[in-house]
Amino acid sequence: MKAQVNGITLHVKDRGQGLPLLLVHAFPLNHTQWESQLDMLTDEFRLIAPDMRGFGASDAPPGPYSMDQFADDLAALLDHLNIEQVVLGGLSMGGYVAFAFVRRHAARLRGLVLADTRAMPDSDEARAGRETNAQRVEQEGPGFLAETMLPDLLAPGASPQLRANLQAMVENNPPQGVAGALRAMGARPDSSELLAQIQVPTLVVVGEQDKVSTIDEMRTIHESIANSSLVTIPDAGHLSNIEKPAAFNAALVEFLRGL
């Protein structure tokens, strides 16, 4: 489905009926990251998975982009779909967007799923690296990111097929969108103080072998959110929902049924 929101067109998968779960993909992926969830959970729940602005088949307008703008796109998408409240789930960059959504649209949250993400902002060094990568993406496209990032995103046992799928996902994103998102991630604020203000039930999920957002970081997020539970996914790295969909989905279903 195509949705006109905030002056742009978003490409959105909207499948199933029941409690709505809005899923926000990681960087530099697209909504197909959630294919296993869309396939396996829509008998019981309504899953909404957009390509965020700048990714996949959504518009990639000129920057600057920001986490606030991504969050506002989601709120506008909910308006478009006539949905008042959702469970919002985000993995990694999707989690950064979820934090912005908490700041700006908390009343629309029924629950939160924070997967393999970080509350801390970038260090100065990491921010400078984002800018270098953004300029390189503008010059040569996003393909090189697949080579530099994938080794850190997946647990060692990940299949060649999965690696190839992810590589294609990365390469097919519009350069302008990827560069915009890199700068937006570099500029994202510290969300550690925000965690104590989160009131809604929250599921915190992390792949046991996640090198990007470690179990320790995710445990801190869990311990800072009063009404939260922590689930670790064995044999998964940073992209836990893709690497071990059965375990990820089991945690999600238990959480959603409990709401």
CB of 45 to ligand MLT, least distance (A): 23
Binding flag, residue 26, ligand MLT (CB under 6 A): yes
The distance from CA 29 to its chain's CA centroid, rounded to whole angstroms, is 9
Give the Cα separation of 8 and 73 in Å (integer). Answer: 9
12 or 134: CB nearest ligand MLT: 134
How does 75-89 read in b/e, with b if 16+ C-beta sit within 10 Å? bbbbeebeeeebbbb
CB 190 within 8 A of CB 119: yes
Q: How many residues bind ligand MLT (CB under 6 A)?
A: 7
The correct pick among 112, 154, 178, 185 for binding ligand MLT (CB under 6 A) is 185
Classify the phi-psi angles of 60: left when phi > 0, otherwise alpha if psi is within -120 to 50, otherwise beta.
Answer: beta
The correct pick among 32, 58, 92, 209 for binding ligand MLT (CB under 6 A) is 92
Binding flag, residue 228, ligand MLT (CB under 6 A): no
The correct pick among 78, 87, 88, 93 for binding ligand MLT (CB under 6 A) is 93
CB 184 within 8 A of CB 70: yes
Binding flag, residue 248, ligand MLT (CB under 6 A): no
Binding flag, residue 236, ligand MLT (CB under 6 A): no
Closest residue by Cα to residue 33 from 20, 47, 17: 47
Binding flag, residue 48, ligand MLT (CB under 6 A): no
Binding flag, residue 212, ligand MLT (CB under 6 A): yes
The correct pick among 21, 27, 142, 218 for binding ligand MLT (CB under 6 A) is 27
Tokens found for residue 37: 């969830």
Q: Could you list the residues that contact ligand MLT (CB under 6 A)? A: 26-27, 92-93, 185, 212, 238
